[in-house]
Chain A
Amino acid sequence: MKITKALITAAGPDQRNLALQTLVDRDGQRKTVLEILISEVRNAGIEEIGIVVLPDDIELYKSIVNFDTQIHFIAQDKARGYGYAVLCGAAFVGNDYFLHLVGDHLYVNRSAQPCAKHLVEIAQKHQCPVSAVTSTRENLIPNYGTIGGRRIPASTDLYQIEKVIEKPTPTLAEQKLIIPGLRAGHYLCFLGMHVLSPTIFTLLATKAEQTEGQKFGLSEALNELTTKEQYLALEKNDLRFDIGSRYGLLKAQLALALTGDDRDQILSELVEFLTIRNLS
């Protein structure tokens, strides 16, 4: 199995402009969020990328990526939620495994191995879908898709996913998503990066039919995927930033800057800023 395609969703009503925000990357270069995501994908050895956007945004997005011919724009015709956005990529992906990222999240690697690359390697090695997850404290889990399962024997960062619940309450998580070996009050939540099998499109199509024009998410389909085929989670301690949340973009920028070439400069400026703030 070789993964050659990636699908990025960027058509949510609240996220259509997020991918176009400009940041300074770790190497000091100005880039849009989309460009940073594309770098992540390309680092994983994937050239062909599909981006799901609103029909009206296609031209704008094309200009951002300099009309790269290996980047395809897919129009999402109806506002029917995240699940539908992924389903829109079915024709582009075809009957292959694919890497999937969301356009409103940024990933800051804390290890030498970039997250997408690692994910793709694991998927190819185990010949199955894999989602990147990170250990998350229970007070934050109502913001993320969260998995339940068990650690794969003799591995430190791989888990067999048995259950997926979107934004669970801690009450529910404690009953259904406890993973032995994790610290008390911690769960594995999606980082927003997955390698998925084409089965997901079948499941999403069924959902689309069942929900009769209503919105539907991806997590329910991922939960069903656990019953159809082996589905793994790769635990990463990388940082993810929801740039659509309050101060999300600022926090992402800070993380990039403080882990990149300009760390010292930013730090000293922050200290200076803090001093001024205190004096005032």
Chain B
Amino acid sequence: MSTLISIIKATDPEIKNRSLDEVCKNMTLNDLVIETIAIEQYRKEETNLYNRVRALFFLYAIHRFYIPYQQKVSTRGLLPYIAHEHLLKRRFEEAIQIFLSIQKEHGANEGISSGLAEAYHQLAFQTLADQVKLSVHSTAGNRWMFRISHPSDQPLRILKVLKEKDENSGLYPCLHETTPVRMDISHSCWSDIFFLGMDYPEGANVLNISIDLCIKDDMGSTPRPPIETWFRVIDEPVIRLSSIDLAASSDITDLSEVFDFAKDYLGLLKAAVIASGIVPPGMEGAGLPLSYLLERMVGKGKGIEIASKVNNIPKGSRLAVSTNLLASLISVCMRATGQTEQITGILQEEERRLVAAKAILGEWLGGSGGGWQDSGGVWPGMKIIQGVESTSNDPEHGVSRGRLLPQHTVLSNTDTLGGDIREKLQDSLVIVHGGMAQDVGPVLEMVTEKYLLRSQKEWTARQSAIHYFDEVVDKLKSGDIKGIAEFTHKNFDGPIQEIIPWATNVYTETIIETVRKEFGENFWGFWMMGGMSGGGMGFIFAPAYKKQAQLRILEIMLAAKKQFEHGIPFAMEPVVYDFKINEYGTKAELLNGIAALMHEDYYTLTLPKTIKKELNELTECQRNELAVLSSTYKNTSHYNGFVNNLFDRMIPQVQGENNHQEVLNNLLLELGFHAAQHQQIKNELKTGKIGLSKNRLPANTSIDDVLSEELAEQAAITTEEYHEIGLQALKNKELAIVTLAGGAGSRWTKGAGVVKSLHPFAKFDGKHRNFIELHLAKTAATNVKFNTELQHVFTSSYLTHKAVSGFIVNNNKNSNAVVSEGKVIGLRLIPMERDLRFMWEEVSQKMLDEQAQKVQQSVRSALINWARTNGEGEDYRDNLSAQCIHPVGHWYEIPNLFLNGTLQQLIHENPNLKHIMIHNIDTLGANADPAILGYHISQGAGMSIEVISRKLDDRGGGLAKINGHLRLVEGLALPDEKQEFKLSYYNSNTFWINIDYLLKVFGLNRTDLLNKTLVEQQVYKMAARMPSYVIIKDVKKRWGKGQEDIFPVTQFEKLWGDMTSLPELACSYIHVERNRGQQLKEVAQLDGWLRDGSKDYIDSICKF
């Protein structure tokens, strides 16, 4: 039997928990292929879900980390488009069969292995997600909701007590629920991920505490349950949903609207309406008016209103606010429909479990997901939450070892805890929100994969974390807060970072270091909350220092934020909280009579709309409510400021908007914005002369792949002869490096608008380093190794210039680094509907899991609506100024060297300069390799271009023969997506340029560089010959408390690769190794980049 299959099937933990690496590291290519064939067969026949998933992860890892690095593996191999299409459509099995048949016929190669790795990886996660979905559906209390498909079958009724108006006030009673959030004091090393709890329940333990919270301020705020929800009957046949903190309110009249989650900011409320059974999930697609259902549940002409409010807790707090908000909403809906024994008070244990199960369902419906401990706020106080082995009564029995839902054991004073432990914890712990809001999704995938693979280092770390958990619980029981701090800190420094190095970051470490320096022994320890640090975090101090620490930490965080905010995406200003342990969990009260009013902020939100109506247009309830409100706000202290807030809301803040537009206009002026040219582009876009579909080359263009003899192999040109030529050129200082750092790196930060080149994304030589530091370290290594002094230019744009030049001036005084300031900018436009539809409907799109796909479609239809209502093709101005303008592609970054005098300066300082090597900020492996330089010089070419063999993720064009001419072609320009899959080589965007040759192509020479007018004239002449691509990019708009919206906007770019189409510019091409040519485009790539040895490679070519 195959060694790996015997590991998967083993029952003995010693064998079962062996790592893949232990077995594969010494295998030959043939051994690996034989293993994959055997596991492929096995995984199809295996009935046990987790064995099947582990087999899939093994297959993924072998194709991702072992086969491509075997000496005999071919680097060149085409991926069939049809397999790619299957992958996009989530038909993983079909894609796998195609890849395997090619592998069988032609042998293993890098490209096919990249396709197989992706397919197995996605299939593994899909299998796990399907099981969670099945378990959520099968949970008792949820099942019936999938069977009820017509409003006539709705068995739930709104309780009578809620349907009876108070005789005096004329108001319906209002059910008011308050819910704490939860913090996870142990940090379980992510073992609360559903998949992991189900795979290894004994390893899934957390210590979870329900807390009340407030932001520490000077106004004497005291902690209270941060989540409030309301439910009441109204005399209109609608479901009225209001999110008070998100300032959104909507009347729903149709069943289908309830399932339209992304239409507005009310998705969570809609998910609660569905998961609680008010509109059961089985009714999706019923296509009926909601009044039919409401009449059955509440009565003729009646409806319900549900409102929520999160009190001042910013997004990304790592306190599971959204899950507990969902749970609170579900709880209040369940109470109102008689699904709990008591309408008010705290819930019983079984009811809490049901609320948690329904919250998981709600999260799945909304296309999101949390851990199984996240609804911990529903339970009171401190509790241990543990994974549980499934038994014959559970739907998971026979499928996974663990149950979907864990077990909660509330720790009470009497049996387990010392009486003063709560006070002690409150007296020592400082909870903060560092201001970063990051997507933890990739981290959760990384952890799942590593645990299921039983990767040795991570598995050992996990065992340590389990041990630390026991220690933390023991210390808690003995009341030893300092002991707890010691272990939470050890956990962060040890297992957490060993499993996921990206859990920490330079911002967090700077804060910890500063706190440690200032508070010395009185700082007892750090504690990371949630998936990553930088957002919600805890610092534990000696009690006497807590108050002082609360004040200082805020200052320390603000200073650290200022230091790193150019490179790290922050969603908000850091805050410090006050907290108190909540001993009730979620609880409800029934408000009657004149007390049955909603929160005062609710009225600020809804009154402007209500009072616009004539009195006779208001319902009886609304009239009664206005009457009660009118007398209450005068006599109740918490309505202070109500009228002011109401006026602020009703009268738009014109002044602020004017200021914003003025700032943008000034910025455009300052940056040399070309208004007439912009107007022309707008007109062409609006009239359809340009657009996404017009980027493409004519359909009759002949596009062919390049033969291997038409370009040079890096290995073949790494000869003594070329090396010597390059070495002499280096020693003679004939080369300068140009790093393109003008782009916003929108894929890296998902449109956050920070400077990617300044993001300290990984630790090198014991310190977090950013891209610029790494490129300078490479140049430093080259200088030492080849005894030269390379000049190094970083290009910039309006977005990056200040930050990049500031960083270089402050941190790299001894280097020869200069910044070439970008001057050309564009103003973003609201996209045309036809371009959005082209992008989403005509171009192949990756499908998401069933429910997430529905949500995505809902988002897209909302965005199309946004474009229509805000004016297609109009200027995009409704954001921060820097987010409204855009760099116009890296083509301009090279002529900018002529325009802004940088090239002239370089030549002036170093007349020997003859060549430049230009590369992207994220191509970390590109360095001044003497052999490649020697080859470039020997070819006498104007430009030598590095390409890499294509893998699945390498999308966006490549090297091709276009109508017989060898050149780079952008993916946007290909007449048909399928064409890209015919191309073996991908453009790494590293160019070696002969300066004089290039100047000649521009119609210039070295002397002309002093003639600004001529340079401008020649550059714009050349620019006119280059195609402009219309592209759509995502930009983030931040608002509220750490909330972010992402909008697609239209912008224009010219790209340097199109220079290869010029007949007068002779180009040569070099196929380089992947380590040298690969680019880091997304944060999610980092883990694979670390594991496959790429990081070590970068380390080896740097000198710090």
Contact = CB atoms under 8 A, between A and B. Distances in A.
Interface string A177-188: 010000011000
Interface string B322-364: 0000000000001001110000000000100010000000000
Nearest to B150: A139
A239 B350 CA distance: 35
A141 B147 CA distance: 14
Interface in A172-227: 172-175, 178, 184-185
A136 to B, nearest CB: 11
A266 interface: no
Bin chain B's interface residue count: 20 to 34
Contacts of A142: 155-157, 338
A171 interface: yes
A140 interface: yes
Interface in A157-178: 169-175, 178
B69 to A, nearest CB: 52
A174 B155 contact: no
B277 interface: yes
Contacts of B350: 175
A170 B140 contact: no
A57 interface: no
Interface string B145-184: 1011000111111000000000000000000000000000
A139 B153 contact: yes
B141 interface: yes
A169 B354 contact: no
B354 A175 contact: yes
B300 to A, nearest CB: 13
A140 B296 CA distance: 13
B235 to A, nearest CB: 22
Contact of B156 (A169, A174, A184, A185): A169
A73 B155 CA distance: 37
A170 B277 CA distance: 10
Contacts of A173: 144
B141 A174 contact: yes
A238 interface: no
A139 B145 CA distance: 10
Interface string B215-231: 00000000000000000
A134 B602 CA distance: 48
A173 B277 CA distance: 14
Given A139-B154, A140-B155, A142-B156, A175 B148 contact: no
A138 interface: yes
A69 to B, nearest CB: 42
B155 A139 contact: yes
A172 B339 contact: yes
A70 B154 CA distance: 45
Given A169-B155, A171-B339, A175-B350, A185 B147 contact: yes
Contacts of A138: 144, 147-148, 155
A178 B145 CA distance: 15
Interface residues of A, number: 15
Interface string B428-447: 00000000000000000000
Nearest to B341: A172
A19 to B, nearest CB: 25
A175 B153 contact: no
A139 B154 CA distance: 6
Contacts of B277: 169-171
B649 interface: no
Most central of A138, A170, A185 by chain B CB within 10 Å = A170
Most central of A141, A169, A173 by chain B CB within 10 Å = A169
B965 interface: no
A177 to B, nearest CB: 10
Given A171-B339, A172-B339, A175-B350, A139 B148 contact: yes
B143 interface: yes
Contacts of A174: 140-144
A169 B337 contact: yes
A263 B911 CA distance: 113
Contact of A171 (B147, B154, B157, B334): B334
B155 A175 contact: no
B405 to A, nearest CB: 12
A131 B142 CA distance: 29
Contact of B141 (A140, A141, A175, A184): A175
Given A171-B277, A171-B334, A171-B354, A178 B155 contact: no
B351 to A, nearest CB: 9
A164 to B, nearest CB: 15
B339 A169 contact: yes
A174 B154 CA distance: 15
Nearest to B154: A139
Interface in A117-165: 138-142
A236 to B, nearest CB: 22
B209 to A, nearest CB: 27
Contacts of A170: 144-145, 148, 155-156, 277
A246 B156 CA distance: 18
Contacts of B148: 138-139, 170
Contacts of B339: 169, 171-172
B155 to A, nearest CB: 5
A175 B152 CA distance: 23
A184 B147 contact: yes
A171 B143 CA distance: 8
Given A138-B147, A185-B147, A171 B141 contact: yes
A176 to B, nearest CB: 8
A141 B154 CA distance: 11
Contacts of B152: 139
A107 B145 CA distance: 31
A173 B142 CA distance: 11
Nearest to B146: A185
Interface in B347-400: 350, 354
B281 to A, nearest CB: 13
Contacts of A185: 143-144, 147
Contacts of A141: 155
A167 B759 CA distance: 61
Nearest to A139: B153
A34 to B, nearest CB: 29
A175 B352 CA distance: 13
A170 B148 CA distance: 10
Most central of B141, B148, B156 by chain A CB within 10 Å = B141
A141 B144 CA distance: 12
A271 to B, nearest CB: 25
A57 B701 CA distance: 97
A174 B339 CA distance: 11
Contacts of B334: 171
A215 to B, nearest CB: 13
Interface in B112-154: 140-145, 147-148, 152-154
Contacts of B140: 174-175, 178
Contacts of B153: 139
B147 A169 contact: no
Most central of A171, A175, A178, A185 by chain B CB within 10 Å = A171
Interface of B: 140-145, 147-148, 152-157, 277, 334, 337-339, 350, 354
18 contacts: A138-B144, A139-B148, A139-B154, A139-B155, A140-B155, A141-B155, A142-B156, A142-B338, A169-B156, A169-B337, A170-B148, A170-B155, A171-B277, A174-B144, A175-B141, A184-B143, A185-B143, A185-B147
Given A139-B152, A139-B155, 14 more contacts: A138-B147, A138-B148, A138-B155, A142-B157, A169-B277, A169-B339, A170-B156, A171-B277, A173-B144, A174-B141, A178-B140, A184-B143, A184-B147, A185-B143
Q: Which are the 4 A-B pairs with shortest beta-carbon distances?
A: A170-B144, A139-B153, A175-B140, A174-B140
